[in-house]
Amino acid sequence: MSAQRGARVAIVESRYLGGTCVNVGCVPKKLFVYGSHVGEDLEDAAGYGWNVPLDQVSFDWPTLVANKNTEIERLNGIYGRLLENAGVTIIEGTATLADANSVVVGEQSYTTGHITIATGSWPVIPDIPGKESILTSNEMFYLPQLPRQAVVWGGGYIAVEFAGILAGLGVETTLLYRGELFLRGFDDDVREFTANEMRRKGVDVRFGTTIEAVESDGTYYDVTLNDGSHLTTGLVMAATGRRALVEGLGLEALGVKLSRSGHVEVDDHFQTSVPSITALGDVIGTPQLTPVALAQAMVLSRRLFGDGQGEMDYNCIPTAVFCQPNIGTVGLTEAEAKEAGHQVSIYRSEFRPMKNTLSGRQDRCLMKLVVDKESDKVLGAHMVGPDAGEITQGLAVAMKAGATKAQFDSTLGIHPTSAEEFVTMREPVT
């Protein structure tokens, strides 16, 4: 965008174009989620009259990984061409900031008016004995073989998504979370409903449980839990958060301030404590979501090389967790709304999606609206169920526009869909 606005731009990349999202995040994850759903579709086929002999069905993990790799390489190529067509110089290597206006890559030094740090984040594994044998999402995307059993450690987005992928592909999966209920920050009904559904799908979800130590011979893992008991498994994956990737950039020497959590500190316009240096994306500690980083980049580019205007709006960020079933959410949770002083009405519906009737599948769906009693505004919309991400995107537009519950009610449903439930919930539960 900046190059198209006429700026001379170079990008320094040490790994892969497209960053975490394209290479070891959102994109390959979603491909794995699709892959892991196929097993259920095959099981459901019988109810719809298809004769799929399940004892003859098999799954080949290396094929999924290879096909995923081909797709990611295609996307890397597209990103490269997008940059080249816009006139951006791509420099392969690792950058260090030599002073407020120069970047060194290998032997070469580049001088520039503006430097933007968009180095992202990296998985963190808690410091326990045996941590070197623990995998992270980075390695999971290139795992040569699937184990028979796996332990996923953590209770955030990545943990629940990978637990769903592994279980869907037939791996006996245990999810360990240190707190009382995983997915902190999501609506409590969503958290409980998701835990129950994951358990019903066969994931061994354990709360109040964490890992103290791990011993591995490369094939088996002996996991010591906080209550002193042991688990034997074929793989341990940590999804215990991500830290800002700033090592080696030389920020401290330049006086670029970091926050206590290790993120680069910026003002509302992505300006760091050094005037010529800006930063955005995961490295500044705002929600670690691709669309957030993209929106920040659009604002920054416009401010630096466009009309100088533009503000980032962090209200009503919709998000989906591609666990199984999916979670889609936008706006305030019930607890957040009450904490902010709202008197709220809660609308909630639980049902078995139509597709599951003939298949006999017992999976259920949850929908919930949090409504401000005084203004009738919908403050939060939450869903757990198939296609929650797809459905929530449309709701986010309505909520951004300030939709009221009366407007939801006057919107006609699309029949028969699960989504229509969002406009037909008439009676509040509280």
Residues lying near ligand NDP in the complex (CB under 6 A) are found at 126, 154-159, 161, 177-179, 182, 184, 210, 239-242, 287-289, 319-322
Which residue, 27 or 370, is less far from ligand NDP as judged by CB? 27
CA atoms within 13 A on the CB side of 7: 19
Task: Please report the DSSP string for 121-170 in residue order.
Answer: EEE-----TTGGG-B-HHHHTT-SS--SEEEEE--SHHHHHHHHHHHHTT
**What's the closest the beta carbon of residue 406 comes to ligand NDP, in angstroms?**
31
Closest to 246 in 3D by CA, of 236, 233, 257, 235 = 257
Q: How far is the CB of 295 from ligand NDP (least distance, A)?
A: 14
Q: Which residue is nearest to ligand NDP, using beta carbons?
A: 156
From the list 421, 303, 305, 306, the residue with the least C-alpha distance to 364 is 421
Q: CB-wise, 38 or 128, nearer to ligand NDP?
A: 128
DSSP string, 289-340: -HHHHHHHHHHHHHHHHSSS------TT--EEE-SSS-EEEEE--HHHHHHT
State the catalytic residue, choosing from 37, 263, 382, 415.
Answer: 415
Look-up of token digits 């088996």: 220
Q: What is the DSSP letter of 209?
A: -
For residue 353, say if its preceding peptide bond is cis, omega within 30 degrees of 0.
no
Q: Is 415 a catalytic residue?
A: yes
Assigned token pair, 153: 């450690």
Min separation Cβ 321 and ligand NDP, Å: 5
Cβ 230 to ligand NDP, closest distance in Å?
Answer: 18
The CB-of-409 to ligand NDP minimum distance in angstroms stands at: 30
Calculate the alpha carbon distances from 63 to 68, 143, 150 in Å.
Answer: 8, 12, 20
The nearer residue to ligand NDP, 221 or 347, going by C-beta atoms, is 221
Cα gap 336→349, rounded to integer Å: 20
For residues 51 and 48, what is the distance between their CA atoms, to the nearest angstrom? 9
Q: In angstroms, what is the minimal distance from the CB of 121 to ligand NDP?
A: 7
With respect to ligand NDP, which residue has the nearer C-beta, 225 or 258? 225
Q: For 359, left (φ over 0), alpha (ψ -120 to 50), or beta?
A: alpha
Cα(228)–Cα(168) distance, integer angstroms: 29
Q: Would you state the structure tokens that stand for residue 413, as one six-digit string?
A: 């449903």
Task: Tell me the catalytic residues.
Answer: 415
